[in-house]
Amino acid sequence: MDMINMKINGMDVQVPANYTILQAAEQAGIRIPTLCYLKDVNAIGACRLCVVEVKGARSNPVACLQTVAEGMEVQTNTAAIRDSRKKTLELLLSNHRMDCLGCSRSTNCELQTLAQEYECENHKYQFGGELEPDIDDSAIHLIRDNSKCILCRRCVAVCKFNQHASVIGPNARGFKTHIASAFEMGLAETSCVNCSQCIAVCPTGALTERDDTAKVWAALNDPTKHVVVGPAPSVRVQLGECFGMPIGTNVEGKMLAALRRLGFDKVFDVDTAADLTIMEEGTEFLGRLQNGGKLPMITSCSPGWIKFCEHYYPEFTENLSSCKSPQGMFGAMVKSYYAEKAGIDPKDIVTVSIMPCTAKKFELSREEMQNKDGLRDIDVSLTTRELASMIKRAGIKFTELPDETADPVFGIASGAGHIFGATGGVMEAALRTVVEVVTKKPLEKLEFHEVRGLKDIKEAEYDVAGTKVRVAVTSGLSNAAKLLDMVKNGERDYHFIEVMACPGGCVNGGGQPHQPGYVRNNMDLRAVRAAGLYGEDDAMTLRKSHENPVMKELYEYLGEPNGHKSHELLHTHYTKRGLYNK
């Protein structure tokens, strides 16, 4: 790699020749502020906060775009640069609705943080009074308030480049420019897939998930309701971030303790339903493989991916596994098996899921996600952020809580169920079970490293009792589109494919704790959080879904995997939607 020598704030620095000034400064231990820049996603120099002085240059370049050069001398913190950044921030504030006390991003807003650092005057350039809210609340999963938008276009970039959907963009021109959908359609009218990667990267409160915590508080305060909760696998390595704990810390025990203190009648674990998903999905795959069924079979755990397939690749809906997601299976079993065992009328049970994902809010509303009596599998789905809000509001000292365990029977899960939250986790969990079921021999090595990691598309071939099984794993819907195009064009031939809507899987879901651009640009959140899940799996003795003793108990009720009762409760169907068809 070619290296160059340069100076940053008088310090000698040697960096790769293809670095930008922003990267070089970071290597030198200097943070240059940004609002629009996101590594590998959005580098457009729009916010102008990262301007620096370069000796001999005619004008001040933006550090996120300007590449370094031999002998370059850069100043990042002169009086003129600080003044320029302050004025830029004050101009942004002049067109920003300032209800900071009531904003969900207060104290975790990148604009607010920088405004405080640069001692900005809130109303220095503001004319015509306070802005009115400019809200699109048509979607079931999020709310957009353009009066808080700073036009950084991070959301536009991630929707287009990471997620392929491209259902939002800048409308109008000049001072009237705003982010919206084509022809000013409400987001619900578009082919949005509800992934909320846009929320995850928004630096302000312009994009937020639809807050459903009031529904949960109401249920908890209703003595006629039996309220059951279950967190998804990845929430345990995300939630701690909301309480100042290191990124990727596994807080499963404290999370369960907090849920109990919030007043839930039963604290379960959706990871048990992940094991159940493997039993159903693995059996379905073997049936297709051995009996000439539709291949490749594609996983169905990610509701954002499912909606993407329905909108953008409807010809592949027949390839989707008919299994409900773990959330759907969890709710269905709580309102059938658990209700019967506990002697509770399912109408009196309220099921709450804690998810890293806003697409789950759409999934629970799907017509097919209810039983024959019209009862929803899941009544309310909260994001990791919403759960953290409830814990704080209840005055629970999260970091001081003891570690507790979940209630039986939905409180025992295998390591295979835990790794569902990372890209490749569903595939690996399925392979652990499928290979042993077919070969009738225990695996010598449980780790399938070929399907792990953050490569855009991972491919592997395994010999399963003489049958060559070709698999592929991808995450991020733009990657999914590439993979499906290759299958459609005959360039690739697989038997089994795992797709997760969010890049890196559920550990990077749209309902995860907010992390500022500075952290995102210098740490791979996906890898750090996934390491927490794989670490939990490695430390366990129960690491295969089919060896989970709860499965034996559940199938005494269900019969057999993929049997009549299983299909009635745990399987679903899909809709060929096409573009701009809700």
3-class DSSP state of 295? coil
Positive or negative CA dihedral for 552, 557, 559, 562? Answer: negative
3-class DSSP state of 228? strand
Q: Pick from 412, 349, 380, 356: which is nearest to 525 by CA?
A: 356
Contact 16, 2 (CB under 8 A): yes
Distance of CA 399 to the CA centre of its chain: 24
Count other Cβ atoms within 10 Å, centred on residue 550.
18
Count other Cβ atoms within 10 Å, centred on residue 211.
14
Which region, left, alpha or beta, applies to residue 136 given φ > 0 means left and ψ of -120 to 50 means alpha? beta
Identify any residues that bridge with 38 across adjacent strands, giving them in sequence order. 42
Cα–Cα distance for residue pair 422/539, rounded to 1 Å = 17
Which residue spans within 195-290 are E strands per DSSP? 207-209, 226-231, 266-267
Q: What is the radius of gyration, based on Cα positions, of the chain?
A: 25
User: Given the DSSP bridges, would you call strands 226-231 and 349-355 parallel, antiparallel or unpaired?
Assistant: parallel
User: Given the DSSP bridges, would you call strands 349-355 and 380-383 parallel, antiparallel or unpaired?
Assistant: parallel
Residue 333 sits at the vertex; the CA angle it makes with 327 and 336, to the nearest 5 degrees, is: 140
The verdict on whether omega for the bond into residue 409 sits within 30 degrees of 0, i.e. cis, is yes
Count other Cβ atoms within 10 Å, centred on residue 290.
10
Q: What is the 3-state secondary structure (H, E, C) of 526-543?
A: HHHHHHHHHHHHHCCCCC
Count other Cβ atoms within 10 Å, centred on residue 441.
9
Distance of CA 138 to the CA centre of its chain: 21
Contact 225, 262 (CB under 8 A): no
Distance of CA 337 to the CA centre of its chain: 30
Catalytic residue ranges: 281, 284, 301, 321, 360, 363, 368, 506
Contact 236, 252 (CB under 8 A): yes
Q: Pick from 22, 94, 97, 93: which is nearest to 52 by CA?
A: 22
Strand order in the sheet with 207-209: 135-136, 142-145, 207-209
Cα–Cα distance for residue pair 53/146, rounded to 1 Å = 33
Count other Cβ atoms within 10 Å, centred on residue 366.
19
3-class DSSP state of 11? strand
